[in-house]
A = this chain, B = another copy of it.
Amino acid sequence: MGDIATLANVSKPTVSRALRDSPLVTAETKALVLEIARKHGYAVNRNAQKLRDKHTNTIAVVADFKSFPGSRLADPFSFELLADVAQALSMRNKDLLLCAPAEESHETYQSILASRHADGIIFLGQGQRDPMLRQLAKTDAAFVVWGAVAQDQPYCAVGGANVRGGELVGARFAENKRRRAVFIGGSDKHLEMKQRRLGFEKAFIAKQPSATVGHIAVSDFSYESALAAVTAYFEEKNKTEYPDAIFAASDTIAMAVYKALRDRGLSIPKDVSVIGYNDNPHAAWCSPSLTTIRQDTRQAGSLLVEQLMLMLEGRKPQSIMIPAELIVRES
């Protein structure tokens, strides 16, 4: 910056002001400085800026790419969410630091903020880290979470209306006169999964009091483990006990269900209805196309960013639920 100043025959502060388009410098000087800076490919050093300004203008985004080490991709839903968060941040001119932390402790995340790596954190996926997040909330850390929105939560979360989503599925199965429904998804440690299951069971049984509801637990949300879980389930039941409706907690799991049903020669939806969650692109493309629950990731992304910005301005953020919509297709 000193060089530019010399070249323009002004002082460093003037260059700084010109570059930040301050009203304190003449249009003439401004133009001169800008021209010289451009010509020499000069760009202000962001690190000096960050040091001086004491804020970094960047947000750390924590995403779990792999549902477990060595597996293939997590559900594409996470990526849509990431893409939409990225867009929301870029609209506010914030930089996005993508984190896949090695160690999962609140100290790790505190130090991201303490070291001025980022001004705030967005967690894409609450998963099983609720206890850690509660710890983190005790500090003055600025963060928001995509996940279940609950009553007693000491931190700000934005998430789908999971209970409602479950209810929609339960009601739909009931309407179609299904009698042996099964939920397949994660354990109750996963708050979102628990909400979906609860809403589902309640709504289904309310309308079909004499029907039954089962539960298949999967350890992670990969296709492989879901397939293993469903297969095991079928193998220990005899044919008369087979479900006639399956609610999969994600579309990826639903694909594993499709496979298991096809292997057994069961037809979808005649023998068994299937409903998924998230409305992955290919839910619409597969055959039969998959009925599923859609959550608007675009809206989710911008709400997450919006609430975090509120926190950074010192204002109070709000936990928000975004609607769940049943997309009825063939399954």
Contacts and interface: CB of A to CB of B under 8 A. Distances in A.
State the oligomeric state as a number of copies: 2
B285 A287 contact: no
Nearest to A289: B259
Interface stretch (A39-47, A144-152, A311-319): A39-47
A258 B285 contact: yes
Interface in A263-295: 281-282, 285-287
Contact of A47 (B87, B90, B116, B282): B116
B281 A72 contact: yes
Interface in A35-84: 41-48, 50-51, 56, 58, 61, 65-66, 72-73, 76, 79-80, 83
Nearest to A113: B43
A44 to B, nearest CB: 6
Given A98-B98, A223-B285, A110 B41 contact: yes
Contacts of A73: 76, 79-80, 83, 281
Interface string A88-101: 00100001111110
A24 interface: no
Contacts of A98: 61, 86, 96-98
Contacts of A80: 72-73
Contacts of A42: 114
A245 to B, nearest CB: 21
Contacts of A61: 98
Interface residues of A, number: 50
A95 to B, nearest CB: 6
B83 A90 contact: no
Contacts of A252: 281
A285 B86 CA distance: 29
A43 B116 CA distance: 9
Interface string A157-189: 000000000000000000000000000000000
A41 B286 contact: no
Given A41-B107, A256-B285, 6 more contacts: A66-B83, A72-B80, A73-B76, A76-B76, A252-B281, A285-B286
